[in-house]
Structure 1
Amino acid sequence: MLKSRKRKAARTGFWRREDASLTVEAVFIFPLVLWAFVATITFVNVFQTRALAQKGNYAVADLLSRETNAINQSYLNGIGEVYEYLTKSDTSAWIRVTPVRCQRRCNNMETRLLKRDWSRATDGIPRLTNAEVDANYRDIIPEIPKGERVIMVETQMNYAPPFSSAFTILSTRTLQDISMTRPRFAPQLCWVGRRCGNT
């Protein structure tokens, strides 16, 4: 009888003890806290990189809009290096510059005919043709009065998160930006060896 009371007291005492509860809670909570920390760092990093990519694109477009002399491939490669520096990206980043004008029906956004003056890029990226500009970029190019031009600047860079996608839902991705700007101090941006305004 005495032994059964002792056993019963030991069992109830075991369930009432709280001296190891902190360790058990830590085992359950620590992975969650670690994941939250890693996810926060990753999400902040991706938004910071996204903002840098956009600002880099705008800086390049602004630089080109102020140019009064004809540019060449060396100039464009130099701007590509500036973009990589501003965005802290690796060598996978590229830039494509395409001055665009409206050829006909400029008042109608749906039926207007868009043409490019020229198109050049860094890192062997293909140039845009007139057909590609008119078909693929019609919806993002703003209204252009006849006789005026916009400089379309496309930039692209690869982003790799600081932690593996096993910890977060983010994996390696491509960040692409397109901006339009009007030439500020010259009627158009020219390419060396091409007559300005020539298709």
Structure 2
Amino acid sequence: MKKFMSRFWKDEDGVITVETVIAVPFVALAFFATYVFFDLYRVNTASQKAAYIVADSISRQTEPVNVTFIEGMNTLHDILARTRNTTTMRVSSIGWSDQSDRYIAIWSVNTGLGPALGETELNGPMSARLPPIPQGETFVMVETSVDYTPLFNVGIAEQTFRQMIVTRPRFAPQVAFDDGSQLLEQDFGPGNCNDGPNLCSPAGS
């Protein structure tokens, strides 16, 4: 019995198989976790870059935009973000009123089922993230939302990446919106030529 136990203790047959059975699950878990972490970073970065591109594209518009245009920008965002999930977008034109000392939501369109931007939300905690502007100027704010679902369960929960990009109109004092019946554009405060030709007085003052 003593010799048998000695031979059994020294026998190394099957060691590689046992080590493989023990190690493979850990290696597989590390591989899947690494993939999910990199995919998480990729989606977040791609959605941020896509939001910047969309905001810049909207800011360059000199003609009034409409719902179809905004939905097309959402489709462009989906392509650029390279995400498997549906994304939503809210685009708003923001101004400032000296009379009420508040930001003004000139128009806002949400491509998802959520609400348009209201002035209560605009002048709440969100206002701390907005740049100061004088009355008569506007900026375009693009908010995007991308849902992320990991392909593998490695301890990372489903989450939503949200971006908020603020940019000034490039070639016009504001980006107007055509809702099908009228143009929604800045109509508050004393008009001056910096607000656009439609707000200039006949004398051009």
Matched, 1:24 2:10: no
In structure 1, C-alpha distance between the alignment counterparts of 2:90 and 2:24, rounded to whole Å: 47
- Normalization by structure 2: what TM-score? 0.83
Alignment-derived partner of residue 118 in structure 1: 107
Percent identical residues? 31
Select 1:188's aligned residue among 174, 183, 189: 174
Unpaired runs of 5+ residues, structure 2, are: 189-205
The structure whose Rg is larger is 1
Select 2:81's aligned residue among 80, 87, 103: 87
Select 1:43's aligned residue among 34, 37, 51: 37
- Normalization by structure 1: what TM-score? 0.85
- How far 1:144 moved relative to its partner? 2.0
Q: Tell me how large the CA RMSD over aligned residues is.
A: 1.9
In structure 2, C-alpha distance between the alignment counterparts of 1:150 and 1:71, rounded to whole Å: 15
| Structure 1 pair 169–91 and aligned structure 2 pair: CA distance change class (3 A) | closer
- 1:103 partner amino acid: S
Higher relative contact order (CA 8 A, sep 6+): 1
Matched, 1:197 2:186: yes
- 1:147 partner amino acid: G
In structure 2, C-alpha distance between the alignment counterparts of 1:100 and 1:54, rounded to whole Å: 21
In structure 1, C-alpha distance between the alignment counterparts of 2:35 and 2:185, rounded to whole Å: 48
Unpaired runs of 5+ residues, structure 1, are: 1-6, 106-110
